[in-house]
Amino acid sequence: MKNSEILYLYDAKITNPNGDPDEENRPRMDYERDINLVSDLRIKRYIRDYLMDRNYSLFVQKIDNKSVTAKQRIEKLKKQDVKLILNELIDVRMFGATIPIKSNTMTFIGPIQFNWGYSLNKVELLESSITSHFASDEKYKQGAIGKDYRVKYSFIAFSGVISGKRAEHTQLSYEDVELFDSAMRHAITEQVTRSKIGQYPRLYMRIQYKDNETILGDMRSKISLNAENESIRHINECSLEIGKLVEFLNEYSNRIEKIFYYYDDALKLTVDGKQDKFKNIFSFIDIEEVE
């Protein structure tokens, strides 16, 4: 397995990308900079849900619609052999896990890892009251009133890595990675809930290197979101400047085998201020679109 690095961008409009349970489920924020934050666990949850909908067996999942311990999950599998467990559980192959096997506990460090995501724009929160049709207690006849928190608009960027060396330990295959690519394209729009509707993937790039040693680093520093108005409300009101990213990847193109990508035409891409299409911009390297 060869190393890959990931750049993943999606936007969120009038929705809650990642609620913080310690803050009344408000969207996670860096309030000093007005930056919206999304945890790596939120992205992994989207991917797990995508896989579960396709009947893949997971380590992190409920059994008979009930939460279980790690020990109970392994007991349910009725397998104690490490190779059989890894073969059965695709999320362990991807993200790793600590698994109790017989009298031992084995820890697998997942080859696929993400940094926390953050918005490339300043984000404003929208707060509203919501009323339930059901009373909060038998003695109250009126519906319960709660708070609903959402972002007005957030353009979120994630960075990730796939370690070829760690993939060997978890038995991650290229077929698994191909499925992962598809999940990154489709999972967010498929896993729609009341609080998550309004999110759309705009750009996904998995830069696959020629070896299992190359890591070029977080590429979010090579991009920027530009808009005439600081208070962005829609994808049409902004563009993504990727000139530095193109220059960077061109400089290291001798280490890159291929770029697997998804690009939404609604996102305007610019190189040094000039707008162009993804395929034209990256014509200097081998690219393949994710289905």
Q: Which residues contact 104 (CB under 8 A, 6 or more apart)?
A: none
Q: Domain residue spans in the chain?
A: 4-289
Series of mean pLDDT values for 10-residue runs along the chain (291 residues):
98 96 95 97 96 93 79 78 90 93 85 98 87 54 73 98 97 98 97 87 98 97 94 96 98 98 98 97 97 92
pLDDT of residue 143: 57
pTM given for the model: 0.91
pLDDT of residue 121: 98
CA gap 123, 155 in Å, rounded: 9
